Structure 1
Amino acid sequence: MSDDSGLWLLAAGPAGATALYWALYRFYRNTDKSHSFEHETEIDAKPVTGSDRRVDSISGTQEKRIRGDNVYEYRKRVARVSSGDD
């Protein structure tokens, strides 16, 4: 009798894992069906608009906290949103 009959079981593990990995990769990535955005989409670029207006400047401050913070006022930070049906 030959002991080669159980070898297929040892080969089935890595082969099955490889097949499962490839099937899941193809299912979730579906690279053959995906939209090639860079090549199939036309984008009309427009010039950037905006301004560099200076709002406020604080220099040389020694304060350890920011004025007006609400770190310890958690009821003001985490307020319930009313739905209007109340």
Structure 2
Amino acid sequence: MSDDSGLWLLLLGPAGAAGLYWTLYRYYRNTDKSHAFEHETDVKAKPVTGSDQKVGEVKGTQDRHIDGDNVHAYRERVQRMPSGSD
């Protein structure tokens, strides 16, 4: 029965793949080493402080563009990188 001696080699592939998967899963998940943040961490909430100050108001604008935009002036927006061969 020489066929039985090569059977372990065929089983080594799936067993090795399963072992590698389990090792990588345990390494990256660290489920046994992680802590429960919600239960182990104490966060003290404080009242919100600050103020609201109105700085301007825009009503009923029909403008399609922003004043001073440079959408069509791409040569002003994009600068050519200096090359070392010049």
Which residue of structure 2 lines up, in the alignment, with residue 39 of structure 1? 39
Pair 65,19 (structure 1): closer, same or farther in 2 beyond 3 Å: same
- AA aligned to 1:74 is R
What is the root-mean-square deviation of aligned Cα atoms in Å? 2.6
Looking at structure 2, the residues matched to 55 and 31 of structure 1 have their Cα atoms a distance apart, in angstroms, of 52
Runs of 4+ in 1 over 4 A off after TM superposition: 52-55
Stretches of structure 1 that go unaligned for 5 or more consecutive residues are 79-86
Q: 1:16-66 CA distances to partner (integer Å, 9 max, x unpaired)?
A: 1111111112112212112321110001112334548574334351x3322
Identity over the aligned pairs, expressed in percent?
61
Other-structure match for 2:18: 18
Gaps in structure 2 of 5+ consecutive residues: 80-86
Calculate the TM-score normalised by the size of structure 2: 0.62
**Between Structure 1 and Structure 2, how many residues are aligned?**
75
TM-score for the superposition, normalised by structure 1? 0.62
Match runs of 1:63-74 below 5 Å: 63-71=63-71, 72=73, 73-74=76-77
The residue aligned with 2:57 is 56
- Aligned residue identity for 2:77: Y
